[in-house]
Amino acid sequence: MGLSLTNKILKAHLVKGELKPGEEIAIKIDRTLTQDATGTMAYLQFEAIGVPSVRTDLSVSFIDHNTLQTGFENADDHKFLQTVAAKYGIYYSKAGNGICHQVNLERFGVPGKTLLGSDSHTPTAGGVGMIAIGAGGLDVAVAMGGGAFYMTAPKVVLVKLSGKLSEWVSAKDVILELLKRLTVKGGVGKIFEYGGEGVKTLTVPERAVITNMGAELGATTSIFPSDEKTLEFLKAEGRTPDYTPLAADSDAAYDEVIEIDLSSLEPLAAKPHMPDQVAKVSELKDIKVDQVAIGSCTNSSYVDLMTVASVLKGKKVHPDVSLVISPGSKQVYEMIAKNGALADLIASGARILESTCGPCIGMGQAPRSGAVSLRTFNRNFEGRSGTKDAKIYLVSVQTAAASALTGYITDPRTMGKAPDIKMPEKFDIDDSMILPPSTNPDEVEVYRGPNIKPLPIQQKLPESLTGKVLLKVGDNITTDHIMPAGSKILPLRSNIPAISKYVFESVDASFSERALKEKGGFVIGGENYGQGSSREHAALAPMYLGVKAVIAKSFARIHFANLINFGILPLTFENPSDYDKIGQGDELYAPNILKELGEHKPVTFINKTKNNEEYKFKYNLTDRQVKIIKEGGLLNETKNSN
């Protein structure tokens, strides 16, 4: 039996373990990616490990999240990141050069390589045939220091594509179709590998849209083969030598197979407030639109924006609609400026933003109260836009552009003949905003502004745990719920004492104050706890507040790993009905936690508030992870192992 493309790449990078689904494996990481919202902490952690230079083939630090400079904090962090990059052998992509995943695809994506990024949408690079995985910043710091990346060997799912997309239907509709079928939990423990004759009809940027939003399925990553379309893209980027043909064996075995006929799809939209609440655009046509936002790492490529410009050319945005557009990179921005498309966008009434993440992470362009906002982004969690009661729909650029003109959610198929935009034979290449590391690193002094505070370090796990249930929440709690983003909070990413004041702010504004008063405690959660962004601050800040364990029905992959990395014990219910028995404010006591972990037994908790009721909690931890928890986190364990 032959190998899938996924297992070919994983096998070539395997350091430890066996490629059996559910088993822990360790893989060598060739390249790393950070962005400024996660990067400052990741590089502070890298410094703490104590190696003189990165040990990867290539590491790149991107500035694309915290570019709204309303105070000194973001600019200070950027200078810190630039000097750290220069000193430790890291390339630095300046603010304005573009969104990390778009620029990485354009300038750094190489088929067959492994990439670990401190951003959950790192799988975008799967569009060019990489195994690209999102992780917490500490995992990335360890990889930069030469350490392997540990993960659960995934199931490999073949998504077999046939046919060809119809006019006005896009790659966005492909991934929305998968989300409709599988839900935001449907990809947990899986890698989605795309194959079939339909693959040949999709360009690399289209493939990247699909792999980007594979993160919303909860998938470990997604990947396309490296073929003629890959070569066409790399050649256009002036990187032909980076091309390697890669494909699954003809007799490859898969754990699951999903079939999608591209020709059967129609324009789709994800309704508020979850990416899997998918409906046909044609069924939403009477909904009035207040705002349209085009861009993000999902849909800001050259072809995407040329498509929008073609739809809008010679027309005007509806008077009741605010249209904002963020080109994905400086490359895209320059090219649409040179060919006149930018002028067409401006003439239509569009507002042109920086080449950054911007509105996608609540960094500006929050809609009005109760607004309907159509966005070509990847997430529509409640409040993520910056407006709590806004209704966010996720759509393709075709649907977004059509709706901006009509003022209502509009099926683009009603707009006449679709624009036929081809990928250019040659992209404009200018890497002047990507700074190489210093050739004299010893002479570089790392800049540290006053907002950069020392890393908080977790203590070793004690023999017993006691504390109150600080918060009880339901299913699908996202990392946005736990640690919000936005222009007010993101600048505090390098200041854990300050940012911790906002933990669970949108759920319970008193959480931080109560946690400090109680000297920590426990959080009870439902299914899929911690889905969404890779932001490790959703574990790091609760650790600072004294959260000792999170007890949930199930966890999202990256957040589960982040909890372990910062010494917070992730537990699941042995008896699911116990979830209903535990209330917020209950005092829990685990008398033998250290001993039970050491003996690989379920841990016993006693509810002192409920007549000493006993509960058994499970933990899906390897020996390595148990050791990390006992040591008080991965940083402690890594330093103690060196």
Residues 6 or more apart whose Cβ sits within 8 Å of residue 577: none
Q: What is the mean pLDDT of residues 195-221?
A: 97
Residues recorded for the chain: 642
Q: Which of 90-104, 476-490, 544-558, 576-590 has the lowest mean pLDDT?
A: 476-490
Of the candidates 375, 373, 329, 335, the one whose C-alpha atom is nearest the C-alpha of residue 354 is 329
Q: Do 184 and 112 share a domain, yes or no? A: yes
430: in domain: no
d(CA 600, CA 469): 24
Assess whether 66 and 209 both reside in one domain.
yes
Assess contact for 496 and 540: CB atoms under 8 A: yes
Q: Are residues 222 and 109 in the same domain?
A: yes
Q: What is the CATH number of the domain that holds 543?
A: 3.20.19.10
What would the mean pLDDT of 487-497 be, rounded to a whole number? 87
* pLDDT digits 0-9 by tens, 326-371: 999 999 999 999 999 999 999 999 999 999 988 888 888 999 999 9
Each residue of 300-334: pLDDT tens digit? 999 999 999 999 999 999 999 999 999 999 999 99
Residues 283 and 219 in one domain: no
Going by their DSSP bridges, the two strands 221-223 and 190-195 should be labelled as: parallel
The answer to whether residue 451 sits within a structural domain is: no
- Mean local confidence (pLDDT), 187-198: 96
Question: Which pLDDT belongs to residue 535?
Answer: 84
Model confidence at 639: pLDDT above 80: no
- The answer to whether residue 593 sits within a structural domain is yes
Over residues 470-479, mean pLDDT: 94
The arithmetic mean of pLDDT across residues 209-230, rounded, is 97
User: In 3D, which of 168, 634, 185 has the Cα closest to residue 395?
Assistant: 168
**Which structure tokens are listed for 213?**
């939003």
Q: Which DSSP string corresponds to 227-240? A: -HHHHHHHHHTT-G
Give the pLDDT band of residue 381 (cuts 50, 70, 90).
Answer: confident
472 and 614 belong to one structural domain: yes
- What percent of the chain is predicted at pLDDT more than 90? 87
Domain shared by 16 and 39, yes or no: yes
* Tokens matching residue 359: 């509105």
Cα separation, 548 vs 470, in Å, equals 11
Tell me the CA end-to-end span of the chain in Å, nearest whole number. 41
What's residue 238's pLDDT?
97
Report pLDDT for 1: 79
DSSP 408: B
Provide the pLDDT confidence category of residue 252 given band limits of 50, 70 and 90. very high
Strands 603-607 and 587-590, bridge-based pairing: antiparallel
End of a domain among 264, 288, 318? Answer: 264
My answer on whether 242 and 274 are in the same domain is no
pLDDT score at 421: 93
Residues 227 and 300 in one domain: no
pLDDT of residue 137 exceeding 70 = yes
591-595 mean pLDDT: 94
What pLDDT was estimated at residue 637?
82
273 inside domain:
yes
| Residues 82 and 143 grouped into a single domain | yes
Q: Point out the domain boundary residue: 207, 240, 264.
A: 264
Same structural domain, 237 and 131 = yes
The pLDDT, as a whole number, for residue 237 is 98
In sequence order, the β-bridge partners of residue 294 are 325
Q: Indicate whether 143 pLDDT > 70.
A: yes
Regarding whether 113 and 221 lie in a shared domain, the answer is yes
Q: For 393-414, how does the pLDDT look when each residue is reduced to its tens digit (9 = 90+)?
A: 999 999 999 999 999 999 999 9
Residue range(s) defining the domain that contains residue 159: 5-264
Question: Peptide bond preceding 273: is omega within 30 degrees of 0, i.e. cis?
Answer: yes
Q: Answer yes or no: do 406 and 477 share one domain.
A: no
Residue 386 has pLDDT above 90, yes or no: no
Has residue 641 got a pLDDT over 70?
Answer: no
| CATH number, position 273 | 3.30.499.10
Q: Evaluate whether residue 454 is within a structural domain.
A: no
Global pTM?
A: 0.92
Kindly report the average pLDDT of the chain as a whole number: 95
Would you say residue 284 has pLDDT above 70? Answer: yes
- Comparing 494 with 265, the larger pLDDT belongs to 265
Note whether residue 124 is domain-resident: yes
Among 551, 545, 487, 543, which residue's Cα sits nearest to residue 522?
A: 551
pLDDT of residue 106: 97
Give the domain-ending residue among 264, 282, 300: 264
Structural domains counted in the chain: 3
DSSP, residue by residue, 146-188: TPPEEEEPPEEEEEEEES-PPTT--HHHHHHHHHHHH-TTTTB
Indicate whether 453 pLDDT > 90.
no
CB 227 within 8 A of CB 127: no
Residue bearing the bigger pLDDT, 403 or 558: 403
DSSP state, residue 504: T
**Beta strands 91-93 and 434-435, pairing class:** antiparallel
Please report whether residue 559 resides in a domain.
yes
Domain membership flag for residue 586: yes
CA dihedral sign of residues 3, 157, 222, 144: negative
Least confident window among 297-301, 615-619, 634-638? 634-638
With bands split at pLDDT 50, 70 and 90, how would you rate the model's confidence at 642? low
